[in-house]
Structure 1
Amino acid sequence: METVKFRAMVVEQTGENSYRRSIQYRTLRQLPEGDVLIRVAYSSLNYKDALSATGNRGVTRNFPHTPGIDCAGVVESSRLDRFKQGDRVIVTSYDLGMNTAGGFGEYIRVPGDWVVSLPDGLSLRDSMVYGTAGLAAAMSVYALVKTVKPEDGDVLVTGASGGVGSIAVALLAKLNYRVVAVTGKKDAAGFLTNLGAAGIISRQEALAGSDKPIGKALWAGVVDTVGGEILASALKSTGTNGVVTCCGNVASAELAINVYPFILRGVSLVGIDTQNCPMDHRVSIWNRLAGDWKIDRLQELAREVGLDRLSGEIDRILHGEQRGRVVIHVNEDI
């Protein structure tokens, strides 16, 4: 069994600061030890995957390496009683695709504590339209809706045409919130309107008044996916007892903000960590995404590619050209 060959994207270091990615054949013997061997049907493309695929040492320390922080597939074998051959499962986050061979290969082998049974109501492909991006979006919405109600006012979503942002727009619209979407892509208006956005503003509009200590109260809540100056501006423009969630730093990891939104308006800033999310909460979120939170037009959020076209999609996401989600059909026999 350990000599079984499979295809995978492999990133190799070719020089001090140069890396090459290619589709190669690997063997099961080259996978790490783990409790559950999974034959991968689908994966998805996230910004963290693109960083790993270009040799970012903050994401992946050792090369050669197979990225892919998301995976949906079928159990091939298991040392644990709770999983059996043929079970349909999801693995996202933890160390998958970072320093453990990830979902851009036809097999993964991981600890059993990383594995979630595929909920009823989702296909393997559906789960990868969501992937880590959907998990982050749903965790953000979950944190927000505990306090902010639809009648409280508009909810801002930043980075709205990206993976997390687009799913957050669709989820909030499904839950009857009036969503204002921030995007830097002029051609994204139709896409975001179809997802349920009631208003669309540019990055420049989102930054209006950011030079003031505190701005006019515009938002009942915010789902921020980019960080930096836009997050700071959103905090200053959030109304009394509003909730702002933060799950990304593509704009900047720095946050220049004073205390006024917190002490004058009682604004809450909630961090979203999908990588180490406790399993009970993770399962609860997946069940919501499969149930009453399932997006009605889920397939419109994603484009599908095979492993052979994945490298080009990595370049697109690094250049800020990805819209919605990219699903990778890793193994076309599943």
Structure 2
Amino acid sequence: MNPAPTPDQAAWFHQTFEALVDNIGHAVLGKSQVVRLALTCMLAEGHLLLEDAPGTGKTSLARAIAATVQGTHNRIQFTPDLLPSDVTGVSIYDQASRTFDFHRGPIFASIVLADEINRASPKTQSALLEVMEEGQVTVDGTTHRAPAPFMVIATQNPIEQAGTYRLPEAQLDRFLMKTEIGYPDHLATVEILSGAKEKDPASHLPARITTDAVIKMAALASDVHVDPTVLEYVSHLARATRDDADTRLGVSVRGALALIRTAKVWAAAHGRTFVLPDDIKELAHPVWNHRLVLDPEAEFAGATAAGVLGRVLADVAAPQERRTVA
């Protein structure tokens, strides 16, 4: 096990993280919290699911992150006729060399926007499972590595359900976080309107960090200290979601690990070398909301995943003292 980051390393992480947030904020106005969650997701080596109405800046967010970290960006418009090979790529026979050449699909980019992912068939959706979990694509028995860093930002439109396919729980579990951007407030809207002549602000953003530095930040965050009392707290929270009367399926061990991973990045982003219980509370909703499967009768009666998590966070006591010192 590597030692926890030093205070100097934590300070560098904090300053760099804030610089990234500030840079992306020039393209996604008035949404610093969403930007922070997206960057946390990337540095925790996870993927983000955005469920939001059209025109809220989902594409701009993906492009701004890619530009800021000197990464590549691809957008895949998911439709009912999209095939798995349209996402991952395909092997084509070359008559001259008498060999099959692999032509990479759009999934091979640093930041991939999977737009309206629930419009594609389950077969095409499943093409993302391997690359999201293992960072690689296997075609015709040959494995092809995805670039590093690698992040999928998928979107769903909550207001149109006709012609869509609900994401199965197995795929939802591959997303580290689920959140929404929402409409900007009045002041941010006015600022956006004043710059209407610039159609794509993200295309003009300067790079603030290299992809190698992003990998370094992710490695640094993974070594942030988590006290045993915080680990026990997360375990109790996960158990409470499984025991809640309104849930049919609570948070799994994978979900608990996801919360710890994001909390480490969140702590480092705040210049700390250790995780606090408050980090867990702040991230529980975006990391766990989409992992809960509610009892149908409870859901019909008005129960929500957010309500279950709110109740669990209120009922399970947070640790007051650290058992060990980082």
**TM-score in terms of structure 1 length:** 0.23
TM-score, normalization by structure 2? 0.24
The structure richer in strand per residue is 1
> Which structure dedicates a bigger proportion of its chain to helix?
2
